[in-house]
Amino acid sequence: MALIVHKYGGTSMGSTERIANVAKRVAKWARAGHRMVVVPSAMSGETNRLLGLAKELAPGKLTPDYYRELDMLASTGEQVSVGLLSIALQAQGMPAVSYAGWQVPIRTSNAYTKARIDSIDDQRVRADLDAGKVVIITGFQGVDDEGHITTLGRGGSDTSAVAVAAALGADECMIYTDVDGVYTTDPRVVPEARRMARISFEEMLEMASLGSKVLQIRSVEFAGKYKVPLRVLSSFTPWDIDLIEEAQSGTLITFEENEQMEQAIVSGIAFNRDEAKISVLGVPDKPGIAYQILGAVADANVEVDVIIQNVSKDGKTDFSFTVHHNDYAKTVDLLKDKVVPQLGAAEVVGDPRICKVSIVGIGMRSHVGVASKMFRVLSEEGINIQMISTSEIKTSVVIDEKYMELAVRALHRAFDLDQPAAAA
């Protein structure tokens, strides 16, 4: 039978009762003959609790050593989850064994709190699978070359699960969450949002990168790179649901475009409240300026999203970009203290009260006027666009955060995403 990887989020692992239900679901798949690997997150709220304790003890400026200890601390949440799930499976008579990331081992870089997976040794896991055991591996974490525990960033358990699936050559990686699939947009913002039966890998990658919280972007990147079949489905369906019905539920992320996908000009609306805009004003307009600004930001391990450089006037220009909200203060201080004096720029200004709204769809490749329609809809709602970014299958705009929900609802309606999908 198939080798299947299940990933369960923190809500699914939120209590001993829910862990017992996860164990029953996993055991059902195992008893059907499937070789099972499970990657659970920490129990709901546990990671925030642990990080809160660290913040209480070190509220000031933080040293690099602090982040090493932060990973040591945060990784314990997942270790609790795998131990409890293994015990729950054993209580049902199902052989199971749990491992922390360093025991597998899952090798990573040494960028604490933001590590990247370099390799996974599958020998130990395969031996246990061959012995008929369910293998449970901590998500979110690994070990660097010096033996230090590292974590992959928030949502990193998704990435762990897909990476494990890729290393094992799994037949499918099933991501169980508190939603029943991928929607045209967040149903909490637009109640009329529809669940999609399938979405292309490219569209899912764009949706994840643009703020959709269903999957961490790095997990989608892994799935695309190693062609891991990926499915998003709900962990709150009854555990004893028919296995075939369960295997066909949720949203399948596919690597093949079908006719239904080609019919949809826009497949979804994504948004991100977690961005802030920074502008360096009065920058000398000469070669190398963008590198001097963004190189320093990259050296500080800060990711940059939308970038705009204005037209030069009197030999000066303005350079604007967006960063994650959590990196806003650090980036502004860096620019003011180091970059602006070196460049002779006028000043640094910022706005942490912005958001990014995006339309995504493979159909945008073969249809003209999609972006202009988006701009018209926003104009009719009185929403000013501050920045624009485009690719082949998406258009993003940066707007004032107070207009975010209005923009999403208007665009969802304008592109008929509230209408039933055409039959494939």
pLDDT at 423: 43
Residues 252 and 275 both lie in one domain: no
Residues 251 and 315 both lie in one domain: no
pLDDT at 312: 75
**Quick check: is 393 in a domain?**
yes
Kindly tell me the number of DSSP H helices and DSSP E strands found in the chain: 15, 20
Mean pLDDT by 10 residues, the chain (424 residues): 95 95 98 98 95 89 87 96 98 97 96 94 97 97 96 91 96 93 92 92 86 81 90 94 95 71 76 94 88 92 90 86 94 91 89 95 88 96 95 94 96 89 49
Residues 113 and 140 both lie in one domain: yes
**Residues 139, 41: contact at Cβ < 8 Å?**
yes
Q: What is the CATH number of the domain that holds 129?
A: 3.40.1160.10
Domain assignment of residue 344, given as a range: 260-419
**Residues 230, 182: contact at Cβ < 8 Å?**
no
List the alpha helices (DSSP H) in 92-171.
123-130, 156-168
**Quick check: is 424 in a domain?**
no
Residues 365 and 239 both lie in one domain: no
**Residues 168, 37: contact at Cβ < 8 Å?**
yes
Residues 229 and 291 both lie in one domain: no
Element (H, E) at 396: strand 394-400
**Quick check: is 136 in a domain?**
yes
Residues 252 and 324 both lie in one domain: no
Residues 250 and 268 both lie in one domain: no
pLDDT at 257: 56
pLDDT at 424: 40
pLDDT at 258: 53
**Quick check: is 16 in a domain?**
yes
At 325-362, the pLDDT tens digits run 999 999 999 999 888 888 888 899 999 999 999 999 98
Residues 281 and 232 both lie in one domain: no
Q: What is the CATH number of the domain that holds 407?
A: 3.30.2130.10
At 29-58, the pLDDT tens digits run 999 999 999 999 999 999 999 999 999 998
Cα angle for residues 320, 321, 322 (degrees, 5° grid):
140
**Domain-ending residue, one of 240, 256, 272:** 256
**pTM, to two decimals:** 0.81
**Quick check: is 288 in a domain?**
yes
| Strand positions, DSSP E, 110-248 | 117-120, 134-137, 141-143, 149-151, 172-177, 198-200, 230-234
Residue type at position 37: V
**What's the domain count of the chain?**
2
**Domain-ending residue, one of 221, 237, 256:** 256
